[in-house]
């Protein structure tokens, strides 16, 4: 009997140790050192702007976004914003936040992403419940598509009332930035306009953040990681307009090994969320 008791005890301890050792994610700093959520929270609370770069289908990234703003809300006056909402849908988003339309109406009136209900609705509903502004920062996709097809000059032909949805022209563009060069090389078959179409999204989101941020408030922005990785994209445009801003960046990666950060990801962001590559996705 005693033998079976010790066998049971051994299996219980072994299983417990195994369970505790299996991690879904690890946080690293930009130098590749393992860090903590506590440090991420503390650094975020000191910033003017946080750019949270996500994988759009990664549930851990979406969970951490929600947890971060929940923990920041008692510390700072917040403004939220997201790539997933386009500038011309701000009216509909405001109506939902003010309680004048319900979710069903928002579904029909705004161009919501297919994964909105699982991944972004919790963020918007948090803003609703806490009465926090939520800003639609992105360029309407039809204009980015126009740039991809016909080049940046096509925007000069738009009616004045439509230009309000895009970054003020002329737009700065630096094609030597490594992220745009990487896109050009990886997708050479798609032409030279592809990184420019990416840049106009970055520029529009940065301009919107600068327009709607308030002194003393913390603007937390949710975007695909590519839009802020390596301190480029949205970050670069923000710095061009106001180099004194304290901007903190977060990015998302997946790896098979969570014990150390792949060297090519060093300095990809201030904080790097590395998720087990076997993690299930939301779509």
Segment 107-145, tens digit of pLDDT: 999 999 999 999 999 999 999 999 999 999 999 999 999
3-state secondary structure 101-117: CCHHHHHHHCCCCCCHH
Q: What is the per-residue pLDDT across 28-75, written as a single tens digit (0 to 9) for each?
A: 999 999 999 999 999 999 999 999 999 999 999 999 999 999 999 999
pLDDT at 146: 96
CA–CA separation, 38 and 169 (whole Å): 41
CA–CA separation, 144 and 86 (whole Å): 11
Q: Which of 177, 155, 157, 151 is nearest to 168 (CA)?
A: 155
pLDDT band for 8, please (50, 70, 90 cuts): very low
Pick the CATH number of 24-276 from 3.40.190.80, 3.40.50.11550, 3.40.50.2300, 3.30.420.10: 3.40.50.11550
> Which pTM does this prediction carry?
0.91
pLDDT band for 188, please (50, 70, 90 cuts): low
Query: By three-state DSSP, how is residue 49 classified?
Result: strand
Q: Over range 149-164, report the average pLDDT.
A: 94
Write the CB contacts of 119 (distance below 8 Å, at least 6 apart in sequence).
Answer: 56, 57, 59, 62, 113, 282
Q: Which of 202, 224, 255, 268 is nearest to 54 (CA)?
A: 224
Relative orientation angle of helices 193-212 and 141-150, to the nearest 10 degrees: 150
pLDDT at 3: 42
pLDDT of 10 over the 50 cut: no
pLDDT band for 20, please (50, 70, 90 cuts): low
Question: Is residue 103 within 8 Å of residue 49, measured between CB atoms?
Answer: no
Where do the structural domains in the chain lie, given as residue ranges? 24-276
Relative orientation angle of helices 121-130 and 59-72, to the nearest 10 degrees: 10
């Amino acid at each position: 009997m005693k033998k079976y008791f010790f066998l049971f005890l051994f299996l219980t301890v072994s299983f417990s140790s195994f369970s505790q050792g299996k991690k879904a994610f690890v946080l690293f700093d930009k130098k590749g050192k393992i860090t903590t959520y506590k440090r991420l929270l503390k650094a975020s609370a000191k910033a003017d702007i946080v750019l949270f770069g996500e994988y759009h289908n990664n549930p851990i990234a979406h969970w951490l976004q929600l947890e971060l703003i929940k923990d920041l809300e008692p510390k700072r006056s917040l403004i939220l914003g997201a790539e997933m909402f386009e500038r011309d849908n701000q009216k509909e988003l405001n109506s939902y936040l003010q309680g004048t339309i319900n979710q069903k109406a928002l579904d029909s009136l705004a161009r919501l992403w297919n994964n909105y209900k699982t991944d972004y609705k919790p963020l918007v509903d948090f803003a609703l419940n806490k009465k926090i502004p939520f800003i639609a920062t992105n360029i309407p996709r039809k204009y980015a598509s126009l740039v991809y097809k016909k080049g940046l000059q096509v925007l000069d032909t738009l009616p004045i009332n439509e230009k309000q949805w895009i970054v003020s022209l002329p737009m700065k563009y630096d094609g030597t930035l490594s992220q745009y060069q990487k896109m050009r090389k990886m997708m050479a078959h798609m032409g030279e306009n592809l990184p420019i179409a990416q840049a106009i999204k970055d520029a529009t989101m940065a301009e919107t953040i600068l327009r709607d941020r308030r002194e003393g408030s913390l603007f937390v922005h949710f975007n695909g990681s590519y839009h802020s990785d390596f301190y480029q994209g949205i970050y670069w445009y923000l710095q061009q307009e106001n180099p004194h801003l304290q901007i903190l960046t977060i990015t998302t990666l997946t790896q098979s090994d969570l014990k150390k950060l792949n060297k090519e990801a060093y300095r990809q962001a201030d904080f790097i969320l590395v998720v087990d590559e076997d993690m299930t996705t939301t779509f």
